[in-house]
Amino acid sequence: MFVEVPGGRLAYDSAGEGPLVVCVPGLGDTRDAYRFLRPPLVEAGYRVVTADLRGHGESSAGWDDYSQAAVGGDIVALLEELDAPGAVLLGNSYAGGGIVHAAAQAPERVAGIVPIDGFIRALPLNVALRVLLRLIASSPRLWSLYYAMAHRTAKPADLAEHRVKLVAMLGDPVRREAMSAMLLNRDLDAERVVAQVHCPALVLMGAKDPDFPDPAAEARAQASLLRGQAVVIDDAGHYPMSEFPGRTAEALLPFLKNAF
């Protein structure tokens, strides 16, 4: 299914019936990132919608703006299309900032937000890390290697297959440009709008996320900004929803029950 938005269209899937949970993957990934988390949420009585980021997956390519604010606007457009009375938004990595923007832009449509190893604050990078990011942004295979490494402990059985699909997607120069624009964006401005977010928030973070010097401290800092709670998932890296979907669901389900 698709929703038309200014500048292109977004691809999404829907499964289950009940209160709406919208799941948005991180940059360089597709909506299949939630392939293991979706079943327990559907079984628990929720409608789960998974959506591709602009320039990724089956969404259209060639956008002018890849900022987190633009991602937030896409999520709001999707919520308007779905016309649900209120939704809980899950956003992994770069999309963590996108769901913060969506909650600020359309508070009447958002019942809660769950950044999963999200980038909400702009953190300083040393020169070596800046160079590494540029190399990864230019190479689908380097991105694939990072993606495997970021599953720190429990590798999904289909991880190799999923990585092949990501490499194929990023073989398209226009889609690789979309990932690169997000990956190299240091103006992560979600922190600027957190004061406009008044819905409940749950920050989920992998204890071994390689993207943060101290993942637990980052989770606490984000939860403080959002006036929410933080849960750190032991042994998980940057993608706890595919590395430990059971533990992720256990942390998420009580929050969903209270949010709705």
The whole-number pLDDT of residue 8 equals 95
* Residue for token pair 């999200």: 118
Residue ranges and CATH numbers for the domains of the chain are: 2-259 (3.40.50.1820)
**Per-residue confidence at 176, pLDDT binned at 50, 70, 90?**
very high
The whole-number pLDDT of residue 125 equals 62
Q: Would the pTM count as exceeding 0.85?
A: yes
Please tell me the distance from the alpha carbon of residue 234 to that of residue 243, in angstroms, as a whole number: 11
Q: Are 115 and 211 in contact (CB under 8 A)?
A: no
Please tell me the distance from the alpha carbon of residue 10 to that of residue 118, in angstroms, as a whole number: 21
Q: Provide DSSP, 75-97.
A: HHHHHHHHT-S-EEEEEETHHHH
Please tell me the distance from the alpha carbon of residue 212 to that of residue 219, in angstroms, as a whole number: 10
Rg, the chain, Cα only: 16
**Per-residue confidence at 126, pLDDT binned at 50, 70, 90?**
low
Please tell me the distance from the alpha carbon of residue 137 to that of residue 49, in angstroms, as a whole number: 28
Q: Mean of the pLDDT values across residues 17-26?
A: 98
